[in-house]
Each structure stands twice: as structure tokens, then as C-alpha cells.
Structure 1
Amino acid sequence: MSRKPEPTAGAAGVLTALLCPLFRRFRRRLLFVVLALLASDLLHLSLPRYLKTGVDELTQGIADQQRLLMLALYMTLTAVAVGLLRYVWRTLLVGFSRHLETALRDQLIAHVLGMDQTYLDRHPPGEIMAHASNDLSAVQLAFGMGLAAAIDVGVMAAIAVFFMLHISPPLTVIAALPLPLLAFSTFFLSRELHRRFERVQSQFSLLTESARNTLISIRLIKSCTREEQQIREFGQLGQEYVSSNIRAAMVHGLLMPLAMLTGSLGTLLVLYSGGGMVIRQEITLGDFVAFITYFAMLSLPLATVGWSTSLIRRGLTSLARISRLLEAGSAVNASLRTTTQPVILQSRPHISLRRLSFSYPGTITPALRDIDLEIGPGVFGITGRTGSGKSTLCRLLLRQYPVADGSYLFAGHDVNQLDTALIWRHVSWVDRNTALFSGTAAENISLAKPDAPLEEIMAAAKLAAVHDEIMAMPEGYQTRIGEKGLRLSGGQKQRFAIARALLADRPILILDDALSALDAETATAVFARLCARQRSRTLLVVSHHVQLLAHADHILLLDQGSVAAQGSHALLMARNVYYQDAARRQQGKEDADARIRLF
């Protein structure tokens, strides 16, 4: 169930595309960070100078109590100033990392919301959730504590080396002899760490998607008694995730010991060579103490090189994954050729399909073939066998997938010249898989029109024949209906969705098998109200219920993605065998149900 990691985008490109705008936005904060960091490190590295002065004066016998007290006071004040400046720049930098995390999360969500179904098919919700949580957390740590440690190491090392060279260039060269070991090991290990962290994050995406699928399907899993299998499969993914983390930890665990080994080797060389220089009087004892102190200050940050490298490498890995998600564009938007002139659509747009054909990405067999259809004000029905392309046609009308130029005209305009949002503002859609959230009944109905007064919400609910059932709830329209409408039946959920679409009050209403969970009597009543309301607009209904479609002005019969027949209900009853058989079967079932109710 594991997935092979995708190739990683170049770090420089990722930084340029995603981070440079944010760096410009927070440039004043970052400028204060740099100034405070430089000041704190310069003050910190002035402490060995006080030590050198004190040791040299003691060695020469010219120091007194007052002089030593003054040096101690200078060192104390300097240490306090260093602590305050470190607090300032670290707080500012970590704060920047939080702003960075928020900005990237907002950009990620905005990008996903603007994508079409093709994009969402390639990137399941679990993967997007992993990007918005684990990956963004890694980016925040990298550009917070990781970047703070890296900058501190760089600035501290540069200034410390400068003072060490000022004391003794030969001793500085000797102290630096073990550093190539750290540089080469960090370079090669960080590359391997990047690859292994990529694997870890990919496994986390799979784990998140599995958890999401389990939670949203928990009732189905329990009804099929698949708890043990689900636990076993989830445990296997968890074990693979742990194994990936352990493999990454094996590399990560080498960085810190190597840095400490480098520092220890350098210290030994300085003690041996520097002690000899003091004996030979090439440097003073104060210089030697100051040099040792500078090297100790340098060694402590070097010991954190592995930790900061790990954080930054992990953050860059996650940033590359987020970048790939953001770079993956919408197939629908890619086909747009928007004009510079604003497009104003008529209040009741007309839809024209001209030899419309479509295949789902990754498939060869067309889902639709050469569909010709004119849809204007009135009631239009679509029917056909399961898998004949009814829902696919609805998805194309909603611009969830790209279409060929000239095959779909909306209000006389090629849809590839129209912003998809412009089309969506004219179309309401209800399918059989109703989406409800854990809010009140009123909030669920008013989703597309959140400022609607209660009177309008109630009017829409009455048209959808769900008002009485809402009023029977404990708190009426303020009753919370539970996550995904848990407290509602399938028919109630569909009527909630229909009420939501009616309240949106858009000129085109598409019902994709949205009456399937209703009993025949309720479905007929609701459909009659919709027909009466939408006669002056456009109502497109997908249904297997032939008697329901009898009220439609025009009916399209699909078979294996092609138009098998079209016309009025009477025409299809007279000329189409499939339509006749479906009507007889459904009439016989309704008569049988009526006889059962009598007894």
C-alpha cells in the first residue's frame, strides 16, 4: 500500500516561488532579527576579550581587586545584554515561522478550493490533510528553530574565527583541521536524510488517508464486521511509517555525534598546539585562554549542526511536497482562454452541447460520445441504465472536468473562455450523496446564502417538503443535525440539500438522482413543486423513475455514453423499448406496494 516518492523539486526553486514573497512581506521583522543577532553575537564574543585582559594582567602582576571587579561587572552586563538580544531575535524569528506556516496553509487551502475534480482525484483528502498538518509543521520548525540555530552557527562561527585569526592564524588553521570531516559527512548524510524524510512524509499521507477513510466509513465497516481487517491494515501502515522513521533516525542520529567528535578533536589539537605556543612564548596565557574560549563558543554551535541540518532538511523536503501540490494545476483552468473583456451572462443562460465527448483521465473507453443537446428554460430529464454517463454529463455541465473547445456553450460562450466561478454562480447542484455538516438545520440550508433571513430558509424548506420535520425537531431550525447529517434519514438529507439549492436561487438547478432516497409519494410531491417553480428557469433531473420524468418537457435517454433516444415522455413511451419496459416494471412495483399497504 506504500507509494513511491515523487521526485523532489529543487530547493532553490521552492524557496524562490514560495518563500521570497513572504520574506519581502516580513522584511522589517527579519531586518530586526539580523541586527539583534549580530549585536548579540558580537557582545557574546567580546567576553573572551575580558578574560584575556584579566588573565594577562594577573600574569603580569598588575591586576587589583577593583580592576577585576570592574571586568566582572562588564562581563555580567554583557551577558545580560546578550540574553535580552537573543530573546528578541529568537522570538521574532519563531514568530515569523508561525506567520510563514499560516500563509502557506492559507495558500494551500485556497489552491485546493480552486481546483477541479481531476486534481482532487489525483490528490485524495488524506494527502492534502498530511500536507496541511505534518508538512507545514516541519516547515515551521525548519524556518523557526532550525533557521535560528543555523543563523546562530553561521554568524557565531564567522565572528569567532575572525577573533581566533587575530590571536593566532597558525593555531586557527590547526583547530580547523577536523572541520572537513564534519562538512563532508553533513553533506552526504543530509542528502540521504532528505530522501528518507520524503519517504516518511509519503507514508504519513497514506496513514492519514487510511484514518480518514476509516472514520467516515465506520458504520459501514462495523456492519460488514471488518473491524479486525481494518485494524490489521491500519497497523501495517503504521508499522511502515515507524520503519521509515527509524531509517531516517539512523541517519539523523549520526549527525550530532559527528559534530561532537569534530569539536573534541579540535579541542585536543588546540590544547596540544596552543600549550606549546604558550611555553615557547609565541602567545600569551591570556591569548591562549581567549582562544580556547572562542573555540568552545564555536564548538557548542557546531554540536547543533546535525540537529539544525535535520530540521532544515526535513522542512525543505516538506516544502518541496507542498510546492508540488501547489504546482499541480487545474485541468479545467488550464484550458481557459479568458478574454480581457468582462463577460456578462444573461439572467437565464442557455446550454448547448455540440458533439460533446469525454473520457476520464487514465481511461481509454469514452464515458460520453457525441452528445448533442440544447437546454433552455423548462424541465429536462436524463435517464438510462446504470453507468450510461448520466452523472458524468452533470459533472461536465458543472465544469468539474475539462472539455474540448466548442463542445460546450454556456449562454452562447465557449466554456473554455469563461471563468468557472462565473458558471458556478448560475448553477445549483444536488446529487444523491448529500453533503451536510455538524451545524444547525438553518445553517445547513443557508450554506450558499449565509445571510438569508429565517423566512426565506423556511420557504425553501417548505418547497423541499422538509419544513414540518424540522419543526418537529427539539429546537426547530436551531437543532444541530450532527456530523454529515448523522441524525437524518437518507430522504431527509436529500431534501435538506434541495432546500439549500432552492435558497441559492440560481437560474439552473441540476438534480443528479437527488430524489432516489425518497418514497414515490414524497418524490412526486417535491418534483411537482420544483417543476412549478422552475418552468421559467431550467431544471435538469437525472432519475431512473420514469413516471417522475413524465412531467419533463424533454427527456434524454443515454446508453453506454451515447444518446439512444430523446423527446417527450409520450414519444419515448411510443417508440423506445427500454423506456417502455422501465415504465411497466416501475408501475408494476408501485401497484404491488399499494396492495401491500392495503393489507
Structure 2
Amino acid sequence: MSALPDSAENGAQTIAIGSLLAIIRPIFRRHWLRLAGGFVALVAVDFLQLIIPRFVKSAVDGLAGGTATAEGLVRLSLAVCLVAVLVAGLRFIWRYLIIGFSRILERKLRERLFDHILRMDQPFFERWTIGDLMAHASNDLGTVQMACGMGLVAAVDALVMSTAALGFMIAISPKLTLIALLPMPVLIVCTRILSGRLHHRFNLVQEQFSLLTEFARATLVSIRLIKAYTLERFQQGRFNDLGQAYVRSNLRVATIQGLLFPIATLVGNVGMLLLLYHGGVLVIEQQITIGSFVAFVSYLYMLIWPMMAVGWVANLVQRGITSLRRIHRVLDQQPVVCVGPTITLPVGTDHRYLCRRLSFRYDGAGRAALEDIDLEIGPGLLGMTGRTGSGKSTLCKLLLRMYPVADGLLFFQGIDVNRLSQADIRERIAYVGQEPVVFAETVAANIAFGKPGATLAEIEAAARAAAIDEDIRSFGLGYDAVIGERGVKLSGGQRQRLALARALLCDRPVLIIDDALSAIDVETEQQVLRGILSRMEGKTVLLISHRVNVLRHADRIVLLDQGRIVDQGTHEHLLNHPFYRIMVEKQQGDA
């Protein structure tokens, strides 16, 4: 089970940093004023913190030299309190502005990612699992938000604090500053080595999370099947294996993180040890005052935080870049169904399809799913049948523009579909698939999904046409009854009729029903058929079915076999074809 296409995974390492930054750069530009205000407050906090040791130096020198007074100490204390209040207020401001920006960036990226996924076509969803897409929209976005929030703050804070602290330290004693910074190259080398390993390990963590999410989703979706086959322990074992792999990957990341912080702390403490010895010697030799020594120690403590921040920022940045690469792979995907210069469809014309030697082959398939299809689908009821795998559903997908076709093979209203926008075509089609989609909403909301502004009267009329109105009224709350997840409270036939009512409510000029009456009994089937014919009079209906009682009402029936049209005509005409005749005889015998 693979969460990502191999090609996408291999290409992840070659994405340039500039391409990654291009994803978030427009958001930074749009909110530059907010960021500028936040960083001004952040820098002000840093400089205010750097002033406090100067107050301490003045107090210590005064006490050591015997020049300190009670009034002077009170003034210094009040100054420290004032600085502390200013620091608290400014810290709130930069947190509100900068961390708030990171949340805005996360929301904008999530909206862009969701919008991009909605615009993708069927081949995209055959290559990417839902679990991986969910991981992108949760873990990966959260990691990018941390990198652009606290990571950015820590980086700027460490840069400003370390630069200013070094300036004050050099002003006190250049020699002592050089001695205190002797261990610094060790931190730089270790950070560089560990950060490179962190990227690879965190990428593996995100992939494991994708697998875990996809497995949990698939398990919950098929929970009834799992219980029917008593596979709860088996699924639990597989989930446990995935969970252990995820934990192992996280522990490998934690190993890197666990090394970065102790190394930074060790480097800082070694510098402090050198300072205590050599600084003490300078105080004894009276080359610096004891107040200067205390201030120098305070500045070195302030420098230890930037040293530690190097490891933390490196961790956040590497994780952020890894997640941004994963998001970039999704955003870089383009629909396979390309549209050339668009032509606006004329209003009120005959909505018909024309196939001219239409052929289609799935990627990696051994044979063509459709081959040399010459067919006109116009106003009226067109039936279609054939053996399983003969290409019926594939033709529906092509009519819905889910897969690409070459120029000159498929026309809608006399115009090549490649010159029409997908939305322009789909807005004229209502579709009911083999597996009806039902949401965990009320019955009314499910039916009105394709027409959100529909009135209750319109919803009830569509339900009556689909012969499900009586079933709905038998529910406790009628049209306000909430259907369980994926329609678990409904039978297969009820789900099919609910989906059909949704399509009929849209009142579009073309209706495609892909074997969506298979779970309905014969009596209800005839009621549904009458409802379809009454609602779709003068419009185009393509009805795919293996039920002869349905097909015999079609104006014309098309018989497919191995992707080719082997015969077409009325019910009486097709009785001369062996396959159709056997199908009729078998169903009549079963009846």
C-alpha cells in the first residue's frame, strides 16, 4: 500500500526552494504591514530586555563602590518594572500579529489546497489516496504554520538578540567575548549535519501518517463488511503495525531533535564555564568592574537562547520545507482533461452527444475500454446494456468529461468537447452512478444537494417522481430525518432512489443513470421509470441497465460488447441478437 505515486516521491527531492517559497510569498506580500508591525514589536522587546543588564550593572557598581543610595536603587527598580511592563505589552502585540499571521497563512493554504483538489479530474484521485490528501490538509499545513509562525519569530529573535548581545559583550571586553564564543563552531557543525538527516526522517513520518490516516478511513467506511466477516482483530493488528511504524519514524525524528537541544545547551554552558574563569581573573586584576562582569554574564545567558534556538529553528525549518514540498507536489498536479479555447454553449438548443469513432484506453490497460464508438445520444430515452466490463460506465465517464479524449471524437451540441469548459457541460447533466453518494445530513439536504435553494415542495415533488416519498414519510422525522454516515440507515434501493430524486430535482437537460436501479424491486422500478419519463419529457436520458423491464421502454437500445457497439435498435429488434435474447429469456424465467 503506497501513499504516494513513485514519480511524485522521486520528484520531491528536486523541487527548488524558490518554487516552494512561491507558494507562500503572495500571502506574505498581502500581509506585510501586519508582519512589519509584529517584528517591530519583537525587536523592541529584545532591546528592552538588553537594557535591564545595564541597570543591574549600574546598581552593582554603585554597591561595590559605595556610591549607591536608596533613592537611586528605587529609581533603578522602577525602571526595571517599567521595562517589564513594556515587554509584556509588546510581547502580546507581536504574538497577536505574527502568530495570527501564521494562522491566516495556514487558512489560505488550506483553502488553496482544497480548491485545487476540487478542480482535479478522475485520474488524479486514482493516483492519490484520500488518506494522503487528508495528511496534507492537516499535519503538513500545521507544520508549515509552525515554521512560518514560531519558527520565523525564533529566527528573527535569535538574530537580533545574538547580534545586540554580542555588541554589548564586545563593548565590555572583546577578549572575554572571544573566549566565551570559542565553543560556537561545534554547534554550527553539529546543526548542519543533524539538520540534513532531519529532513529525510520527517518526510518518512509524514508518509507513515498518510498511510495510517488512509487505513483508518478505509476501515470506518467498510465497517459493516469488516464486522460481517469478523475481521475486527485482523484490522486491529494491521492498524497496530502501521501505528508502530509511525511511532518508530517519530522516534527517529525525536532522536535528531533530542541531540540538537543538548548540544546547543552544552555549547552555551561550556562558554559560561570559560567566562567564569577568565572573567573572574579580569575582575581580580581590575581590568573590568564587577558590575561589568555581572552584565557580561547576563548577556551571555541571553546568547545561550539564540544558541539553543539554532537547533529548534533548524528543526522547524526542515519540517516546514518537507511539508511544503509535499503540498507543492499536490498543487503542481494538473488536470489531464485539458480544455482549449472555450466556446459558450448556445442557450435553448438541442442537447445531444455525438460520438465519432470514439476510442479510449485506461493508462496501463491491455486493451481499449471503448473502440470505434459511433453513436448519437439525443432527446428521448436511450437504453444501454451489455456484459460486465463492456465499456458502459467508461462511456458515461467520458460524457461527464472525467477523462480526456482526442479532438474530433466527442461532440456536445455539435461542438467538440475539447473546446468547451467542463463546467459548461456538467451544468447541463444530472448523473446517478452505480454507487449512490449519500451524506450524513437530513433527507431534504441530501435531495437538495445539487440545488441548494430548492423549496420543500420541489424536494417532495422530486421524491415522488423517484418513488421514495412514502419511504421518507415513514421515517420518524420525515424529510428532516438525519441519514447516517454513507446512508447506513437506508436500504440499497432507498439510497438509489434518493440519489435519483437529487438528480431529478436539478432539472437538467441531460440525465445519465449508470445502472442505478439495480437494487429496486420490479413494481417500484416501474413507478420510478414513469417518474423519470414524466420529469424528463423532451430531454435526453441515457439509462444503463441489465433489467429488460426497464430497457423495453427505451426509444432505442444500444448493446455493447468488449468496448464495441454490436447492435442497436428497439427492444423487438434486439430480440434477434443472441445475447440480448438470452438475457430476456433468463429474466422472464426467473420471474
TM range (shorter): over 0.9
Find the counterpart in structure 1 of residue 258 from structure 2: 253
C-alpha distance in 2 between matches for 1:317 and 1:134:
11
Check whether the contact 1:426–1:507 (CA below 8 A) recurs between aligned residues. Answer: yes
Confirm or deny: 8 A CA contact 1:429 1:510 kept in the other structure: yes
State the Cα distance separating 1:470 from its structure 2 match.
1.2
| Alignment counterpart, residue 338 of structure 1, candidates 313, 337, 341 | 341
Distance 1:555 1:303 in 2: 75
Please, which of 130, 137, 147 is the counterpart of residue 132 of structure 1?
A: 137
What are the Cα deviations for residues 196-220 of structure 1, in whole angstroms up to 9, with x where unaligned?
A: 1100010010000000011010100
The aligned counterpart of 2:47 is: 42
How far 1:455 sits from its partner (Å)?
1.0
Greater shift in the superposed pair: 74-83 or 361-370: 361-370
* Matching residue within 412, 415, 430 for 1:413: 415
| Residue 65 of structure 1, CA deviation | 2.0
User: How far is 1:548 from its partner?
Assistant: 1.7
1:542 correspondence with 2:547: no
- Per-residue CA distance 1:300-355 (angstroms, 9 max, x = gap): 332243333323322222222112111112111xx21134x645454442211122
Equivalents in 2 of 1:416, 1:9: separation in Å?
33
Partner of 2:124: 119
CA–CA separation in structure 2 for the residues paired with 1:261 and 1:403: 64
- Equivalences for residues 66-77 of structure 1 within 5 A: 66-77=71-82
Which residue number corresponds to residue 390 of structure 2? 388
User: What SS is found at the alignment partner of 2:450?
Assistant: coil
Q: Which moved more, 1:342-351 or 1:257-266?
A: 342-351
Instruction: Tell me, yes or no, if structure 1 residue 174 matches structure 2 residue 179.
Output: yes
Aligned counterpart in structure 2 of residue 142 of structure 1, from 140, 144, 147: 147
Give 3-state SS (helix, strand or coil) of 2:405's partner: coil
Instruction: Determine the structure 2 residue equivalent to 1:288.
Output: 293
Do the aligned residues in 2 keep the contact of 1:353 with 1:408 (CA within 8 Å)?
Answer: yes
Conserved 8 A contact 1:126-1:208: yes
* Match runs of 1:196-207 below 5 Å: 196-207=201-212
Superimposed CA distance per residue, residues 211-251 of structure 1 (whole angstroms, 9 cap, x where no aligned partner): 00110101001111222211111111111111111111111
Pairing 1:163-242 to 2, within 5 Å after superposition = 163-242=168-247
Give the whole-Å Cα distance in 2 for the aligned partners of 1:115 and 1:2.
Answer: 20
Q: Secondary structure at the match of 2:407?
A: coil
Shift of 1:118: 0.7
Q: Distance in 2 between matches of 1:560 and 1:446?
A: 37
1:441 to 443, 447, 451: 443
Q: Which amino acid aligns with 1:100?
A: L
Residue 66 of structure 2 corresponds to 61
Distance 1:381 1:329 in 2: 35
Shift of 1:400: 1.1
CA distance in structure 1 between the aligned counterparts of 2:15 and 2:159, rounded to whole angstroms: 23
Equivalent pairs counted in the alignment come to 586
Paired with 2:346 and 2:75, the residues of 1 have a C-alpha distance of: 80
What is the match of residue 355 of structure 2? Answer: 353
Is the aligned partner of 1:319 residue 2:360? no
Alpha carbons of structure 1 residues 529 and 83: separation in structure 2 relative to 1, 3 Å: closer
What is aligned with 1:329?
334
Between the aligned partners of 2:382 and 2:142, the Cα distance in structure 1 is 50
Report 1:517-536 matches (<5 A).
517-536=519-538
TM-score (norm 2): 0.95
Displacement of 1:15 in angstroms is: 4.3
Please give the secondary structure, in 2, of the residue aligned with 1:331: coil
User: 2:401 is matched with which residue?
Assistant: 399
Aligned to 1:577: 578
In 2, the alpha carbon distance for the partners of 1:518 and 1:588 equals 19
Name the CA shift for 1:298/1:586 in 2 (closer, same or farther; >3 Å): same
* SS of aligned partner of 2:461: helix
Deviations 1:56-103 (A, max 9, x none): 333433322222221222122112211221122123222112111211
User: Shift in Å at residue 569 of structure 1?
Assistant: 2.1
Q: Which runs of 5+ in 2 are unaligned?
A: none
Query: Could you say if the C-alpha distance between residues 484 and 230 of structure 1 is closer, same or farther in structure 2, counting changes exceeding 3 Å?
Result: same
* Letter of the structure 1 residue corresponding to residue 339 of structure 2: L
Partner amino acid, structure 2, of 1:184: V
Deviation at 1:552, TM superposition (A): 1.4
Given that 1:153 and 1:301 are in contact with CA atoms closer than 8 Å, whether structure 2 keeps it comes out as yes
Question: CA separation in 2, counterparts of 1:158 and 1:411?
Answer: 70
User: 2:115 maps to which residue?
Assistant: 110
Deviation sequence 1:4-37 (CA, Å, 0-9, x none): 7552464633542221111122222111111101
| 1:446 aligned counterpart, secondary structure | helix
Matched, 1:452 2:454: yes
Q: Secondary structure at the match of 2:519?
A: coil
Q: Secondary structure at the match of 2:299?
A: helix
Q: Say if 1:261 and 1:527 are closer, same or farther in 2 by CA, change over 3 A.
A: same
Partner residue, 1:587: 588
Identical positions, percent: 50
Q: Secondary structure of 2:205's match?
A: helix
Give the drift of 1:567: 2.3
Is the Cα contact below 8 Å between 1:11 and 1:316 reproduced in 2?
Answer: no
Which runs of 5 or more structure 1 residues have no equivalent in the other structure? Answer: 591-599
* Residue number in structure 1 paired with 2:21: 16
Distance 1:518 1:183, change over 3 A: same
Per-residue CA deviations over 1:404-426 (Å, capped at 9, x if unaligned) read 12221122222222221111100
Matches of 1:58 and 1:9 in 2, distance apart? 62
Contact 1:194 1:314 survives alignment (8 Å): yes
Q: Do 1:14 and 1:319's aligned partners in 2 also have CA atoms closer than 8 Å?
A: no
**3-state DSSP of counterpart to 1:551:** coil
CA distance, structure 2, for counterparts of residue 237 and residue 89 of structure 1: 40
Tell me which residue corresponds to 1:423. 425
Match of 1:368? 370
Quick one: distance in 1 between partners of 2:36 and 2:419? 45
- 2:494 is aligned, of 492, 495, 514, to 492
Maintained 8 Å contact 2:443/2:480: yes
C-alpha distance in structure 1 between counterparts of 2:92 and 2:535, whole Å: 66
Two-structure CA RMSD over aligned residues (Å): 1.8
Distance of 1:342 and 1:530 partners within structure 2? 29
Q: Distance in 2 between matches of 1:109 and 1:165?
A: 52
